[in-house]
Amino acid sequence: MSLILDALRRRSAAREYDDPSAQTARTDRVLATLGYRRRAGSGGLTPNRLIAYAGIAVALGFVGLWVIVAIFSPAPPGRPAAQRTASAPPPPPTVPSTTVVEPARPETTQPASPLPVATPSATPESPSTTAPTTRRSPQVPSAPVPPPRASTPRSPVPREPDVPAASTPAPGPTAPPTDHFGLALYYQRISDFDNALTQYRVLLDQNDSSAEVHNNVGLVYRERGQLDQAIREFQRAIEIDPKYVRAHNNLGVALMGSNRLDAAAAEFRVALAADPRNVESIVNLALVQKAGGRGADARDLLLRAVSVDARSPGAHYNLALVADEAGEVSMAIEHYRAFLKLGAVTHADLVARVRARLAALGGA
């Protein structure tokens, strides 16, 4: 019996060592029946197994916790694309280019005379070019013609102011210029007409096709009272330049001086066709109408001149004369006063006469 038990014990021990998992609950019960104590660790959980299982469980717990945290924790915000990729700095602001447009230089023209135009303006013209064979603009500034000497108005009705045959150029520069045209203007403005003609003839020898030079020669002849020569020079200027408004106006004045009123009126109308706002030609045409006994036409023309240039002393002066002769006292007073306001400085020789007439009309 003991041999059997020993064999079973050895067999059981061999199974422990060879295949612990093959030991069955039956063997354990047999050994327990025979009085043998159950081997520790032969069944259930041993402390080592518990430690191992606990370690595994802890490891699995940590792994599970890490997985949970990784799943449910918010992802860290990624850097914006603008930060991940270095972008080129923005270009500096550009100032919009400004194109400076130079204003076109107007052609040099003579200013309209602001004087009373009981006589027309006769300002010497400057050529528009510098070459002797072409027109040129001299550096000598032009000056308006001084006022004509009108006759003293008679009370109660003043008579028409006389139209002088010549006009006096404004004072020239202090030192004479060196070119022929500048010298001609200089001598003309100091009333040295012989030397002025000499210089103009030199220019005409160089270029006989200068309308401005012929016009100015005509003015010199008119200043000297040689109206026939003046008319020929003005006609030559118009032949060269048919649209030369000043030459037409000056020719009309010379024809008025020769008492050829119809021909003068025709020249003034040609000038007005080219320049409808030419106050000098309007006033001169009004004087022709007045001289021909057409006072109403003269009045209408002078009203037109005032509407074109309300600051023209000559237009106001001549309109006051026409209104005074027609018995239109209120209109005469109005335009005498306008003349005193606008022309008292430039036409001081007429101021005393106009004030005397205003006093006679009760408008002083």
pLDDT of residue 183: 92
- Is the domain 291-364 a CATH 1.25.40.10 member? yes
Sequential DSSP letters for 114-125 = -S-TTS---PPP
352: exposed, middle or buried (Cβ count in 10 Å: 0-12, 13-18, 19+): exposed
- Which residues, 6 or more positions from 118, have their beta carbon under 8 angstroms from its beta carbon? 148, 150, 161, 162, 163, 283, 287, 314, 317, 318
What CATH number is given for 129-143+158-275 in this structure? 1.25.40.10
pLDDT of residue 15: 57
pLDDT of residue 86: 43
Token pair of 101, please? 């447009």
Answer for the pair 128, 187: CB distance below 8 angstroms, yes or no.
Answer: no
CA distance 301 to 283: 7
pLDDT of residue 19: 52
pLDDT of residue 49: 74
Sequential DSSP letters for 79-105 = PPHHHHSPPPPPPPPPPPP-PPPPPPP
pTM value is 0.55
Taking CA atoms, 165 is separated from 217, 239, 259, in Å, by 15, 23, 11
User: How confident is the prediction along the chain (364 residues), in pLDDT tens digits per residue?
Assistant: 566 666 666 666 655 555 554 455 666 666 666 665 555 544 555 677 778 888 888 888 878 777 787 777 665 554 444 444 444 444 444 433 333 333 333 333 333 333 444 444 445 655 544 333 333 333 333 333 333 333 333 333 334 343 333 343 444 444 556 688 999 999 999 999 999 999 999 999 999 999 999 999 999 999 999 999 999 999 999 999 999 999 999 999 999 999 999 999 999 999 999 999 999 999 999 999 999 999 999 999 999 999 999 999 999 999 999 999 999 999 999 999 999 999 999 899 999 999 999 999 998 7
* Identity of the amino acid at 107: E
Helix (H) or strand (E) holding 264: helix 261-274
In 3D space, the residue among 274, 307, 173, 36 whose CA is nearest the CA of residue 286 turns out to be: 307
CA distance 232 to 211: 12
Which residues make up the CATH 1.25.40.10 domain(s) of the chain? Answer: 129-143+158-275, 291-364
Going by the DSSP 8-state scheme, the letter that residue 36 receives in this structure is: P
